[in-house]
A and B are shown apart, each in its own frame.
Chain A
């Protein structure tokens, strides 16, 4: 018996040839990768193609341009952005343009402001030892970081009342202030990490050369911290560009941003698929481009922001 089992063991545990197993593994891995790539890309593909479809093509679920359906500038025409309407006057394009400009101004403005405030604070926290009452550096850092847990609803209604009193409702400036506060903790975190990675000996060498504290910061340390600043800036830009909650509550006509415009269109009845698709495409396009070309900054920003 014993000899029999031991003899049969290799047969029973017969592995498929190593190359076959390896091939199977490869197929599984690439299968999973392609499946998830499809999951990620299909909604984007669907939105972009739908902006070129007519009603019939939408209802029949046609998917592939030129094969299934004849692309048409329908959606873009309704936004005034198709080749034949782009030079004419168009109220919808004017509206879209102003929303787009609002989005750019608020997100860039808030990112710049957060970067300035955050870099200064991060440099201070990375180089000096502060005492603020009972608060030391770690407590001060925690104080800034703890704002991350604040849900927007807590601030939204007080801000509504305060902005009313300050006549800041429906202004870009008001939105910039709010967006700055939402991204400031992240910027401080990323920039502190960046400054910590720059050796303090560089500062000291600058002091020896006769630079002041601020001189050393601006002339020596800041130029070296461009990668961190780029990461913090782009990450803030993404977060501010996509922000909806505050914008929906605090803007009505002048300072409406793109997400609010998209949301208000979905709410209306008898919604035109092609124009909604065109609008969504236009709203996500800048960030898709940022995501494709500046991906490494986003990744580096996220991994310092959370990987520690």
Chain B
């Protein structure tokens, strides 16, 4: 199962446990088997107890969590006893693996199970098996599809964020004074919590009656500066806030790419008589393409999780124009306490994301190879 061998330094390492004594190996195996058995028995007792088959068990599942921890430790000890040096090496990876299995893999699988239930947490009935009905209901849920449609626009807006961020990175990369000052200032929005930003910008700066942004808009001739009344304006306002928070991230990555670029390339372009725009379009931009694609993909991944600002500023309104999938599911749970349906929506969304990212990664691989 778990098996490690030295990477490039095979010759220098102590030989990885050539022969651990047979009895020691057996002790190790016994530890692993006993621990696994104990864990399984505890699990079984608790499952039987919660389903009502038996009368003795624990009040809650916490002992199972503790048992899992002990089991993980026992596996680690077993690895070391059985495999010696190679077990010690496996010990580096095992904590993260056990942690991830417990808090990511298991809950995701559990989520798939929940998605097949009709389960209203606030009602007394408890879960009821529902099969694929949640999935079928999902296809008829116009609000959900509306939210998915919005995600396309939100994702497309990443290109705009990228353009602004590239401009800022070029500015910071130019020969300027007080570069450090500007870099710190440009980075600041990223540090702020989206919830605080929701209030600072969404609810106070853009406040209809006396927010400075509304005042400025009136001064510029927009008589009725309601930032969150019409669907498109509301979407733009939310997007602007999200861009404000996330442009610094894109900018910093692009700036690092620009600074890693050899100066000679720029100078060669100038010698060839290229003007500023030509030098950028034919030299800088192609060189920056791999970095750009990476940062765009990361940004899209984060964009697909957008929720905080929407929840706190518009709650998805007006008429669902600003809804994201996450904020919609949040409301599904808050308003209806329907765990089964909400999880079903989330799992379906996850599958869509995986499909989208697989395509994106394939495309970007092909594209960067072609350019190179």
Contact = CB atoms under 8 A, between A and B. Distances in A.
Interface string B1-16: 1111111110011100
B8 to A, nearest CB: 6
Interface string B80-112: 000001001111110111011001100110110
Contacts of B215: 61
Interface stretch (B33-41, B225-233, B278-286, B322-330): B322-330
B156 interface: no
B275 to A, nearest CB: 12
A50 to B, nearest CB: 7
Contacts of A204: 9, 12
Max chain B C-beta neighbours (<10 A), residue from A41, A177, A262: A262
Q: How large is the interface on A (under 10, 10 to 19, 20 to 34, 35 or more residues)?
A: 35 or more
A249 B100 CA distance: 21
B298 interface: yes
A271 B199 CA distance: 11
Contact of B343 (A157, A188, A263, A266): A157
A158 B107 contact: yes
What are the nearest 5 A-B pairs in CB distance?
A: A124-B92, A121-B96, A242-B193, A291-B191, A303-B256
A174 B256 CA distance: 36
Tell me the dominant secondary structure on chain B's binding face.
helix
Interface stretch (A3-11, A79-87, A94-102, A130-138): A130-138
A181 B65 CA distance: 16
A298 B65 contact: no
A131 to B, nearest CB: 5
B252 A166 contact: no
Given A43-B200, A157-B343, 8 more contacts: A59-B209, A121-B95, A154-B108, A158-B343, A162-B110, A200-B9, A266-B312, A306-B253
Contact of B330 (A153, A273, A291): A153
A44 interface: yes
Max chain B C-beta neighbours (<10 A), residue from A40, A147, A178, A290: A40
Nearest to B175: A29
B131 to A, nearest CB: 18
A245 B346 CA distance: 14
Interface in B160-201: 167-168, 171, 174, 176, 182-201
Interface in A183-203: 184, 188, 200, 203
B158 interface: no
A74 to B, nearest CB: 15
Max chain A C-beta neighbours (<10 A), residue from B89, B185, B210, B350: B185
A109 to B, nearest CB: 14
A30 B107 CA distance: 51
A128 B4 contact: yes
Interface stretch (B23-31, B266-274, B300-308): B300-308
Interface string A4-33: 000000000000000000000000011011
A180 interface: yes
Contacts of B93: 120-121, 124-125, 130, 140
20 contacts: A120-B96, A121-B95, A129-B6, A130-B3, A148-B301, A152-B326, A154-B108, A158-B343, A160-B339, A178-B103, A184-B100, A200-B7, A245-B307, A248-B330, A263-B195, A280-B196, A283-B196, A291-B191, A299-B256, A307-B291
Given A160-B339, A298-B187, A128 B7 contact: yes
A230 interface: no
B13 to A, nearest CB: 7
A220 interface: no
A165 interface: yes
B184 to A, nearest CB: 5
Nearest to B111: A158
A197 B289 CA distance: 25
B104 A44 contact: no
Contact of A61 (B200, B212, B349): B212
A69 interface: no
Contacts of B318: none
Interface of B: 1-9, 12-14, 50, 60-62, 64-65, 85, 88-93, 95-97, 99-100, 103-104, 107-108, 110-111, 114, 121, 167-168, 171, 174, 176, 182-201, 203-205, 209-210, 212, 215, 244, 249, 252-253, 256-257, 260, 291, 294-295, 298, 301, 304-305, 307-308, 311-312, 325-326, 329-330, 333, 339, 342-343, 345-347, 349-350, 353-354, 357
A44 B92 CA distance: 43
A177 B103 contact: yes
Tell me the dominant secondary structure on chain A's binding face.
helix
Interface of A: 29-30, 32-33, 36-37, 39-44, 46-47, 50, 58-61, 63, 116-118, 120-121, 123-125, 127-133, 140, 143-144, 147-162, 165-168, 177-178, 180-181, 184, 188, 200, 203-204, 207-208, 212-214, 217, 238, 241-242, 244-245, 248-249, 258-260, 262-263, 266, 271, 273, 276-277, 280, 283-284, 287-288, 290-292, 295, 298-299, 302-303, 306-308
Given A155-B107, A244-B195, A128 B349 contact: no
Contacts of B209: 59
A78 B300 CA distance: 40
Given A61-B212, A161-B339, A162-B110, A151 B350 contact: yes
Contacts of B249: 302
B349 A132 contact: no
Contacts of A292: 184, 188
Nearest to A208: B12
A266 B199 contact: yes
A133 B1 CA distance: 6
A167 B60 contact: yes
Nearest to B93: A124
Nearest to A26: B176
Contacts of A244: 193-195, 307-308, 311-312
Contacts of A121: 92-93, 95-97
Nearest to B344: A157
Contacts of B253: 302-303, 306-307
